[in-house]
Amino acid sequence: MVETTRRREIEEAASSLFRERGYSGTSVRDIARALDIQGASLYAHVTSKQDVLWSIVERMATRFETSATAASAAVGSDPAAQLAALVRNHVLVVTDDIERASVFVHEWRALSSERRTEMARRRDAYERRFRTVIAAGTDAGVFAPVDPNVAAAYVLTALNGMVAWYRPGGRIGPEVLADSYADLSMRAVLAKGTVPGGPA
């Protein structure tokens, strides 16, 4: 599917509706109504409702992946700095596109089985970045002796939980939020008395 303006508008309207009502709770006609066209007219631009979900989820997955890689590369190998960079980056991606991020977090289960399997793999690889860096910090003694799987799940679900409450333009901006979440996450895993490694 070529990427047209209309196509982008459909994805945007769908993201908003999928966030509010879920994929199953949103009909093709709901999406069309948001764009003031007929339900059947959507199919001039997309091949299926499932494809719209896929492009939303896939786009966000790629964004999380590439920007995590960039954030990681920007800070050197210190586990504390690495974790802070991953957390800050994640918050910034979420706040930058809260609707697609929400769909990414909650609706990937509605993907058809092949795509769902691919996404499960990519999500797992993403979570592994957190596990690995936490394990490294724990081994180095700079982090408390936490179970890296539990700690990574804890931090990552806290980050993803943002999609449930964050609204753009609110009291707290993305940068402040990124710092707060990084502070909370660093403290959660740091050994007592350690000085937190700040963001890059």
Residue 74 interacting partner from a second copy, DNA, none (CB closer than 5 to 8 Å by kind): none
Which of residues 35, 92, 188, 200 is near a second copy by CB under 8 A? 188
Residue in 12, 22, 34, 35 binding DNA, rule: CB under 7 A: 35
Q: Which does 84 bind (CB under 5 to 8 A by kind): a second copy, DNA, none?
A: none
Work out whether 187 is an interface residue with a second copy (CB under 8 A): yes
Write the DSSP string, 139-155: HHTSB-S--HHHHHHHH
Interface residues for DNA in 107-146 (CB under 7 A)?
none
Tokens 């509706």 sit on residue: 17
Judged by CB under 8 A, the residue of 119, 133, 151, 178 near a second copy is 151
Produce one character per residue of 80-96: b if its CB has 16 or more CB atoms within 10 Å, e if not: bbbbbbbbbbbbbbbbe
Q: Should residue 160 be labelled a site residue for DNA when binding is judged by CB under 7 A?
A: no
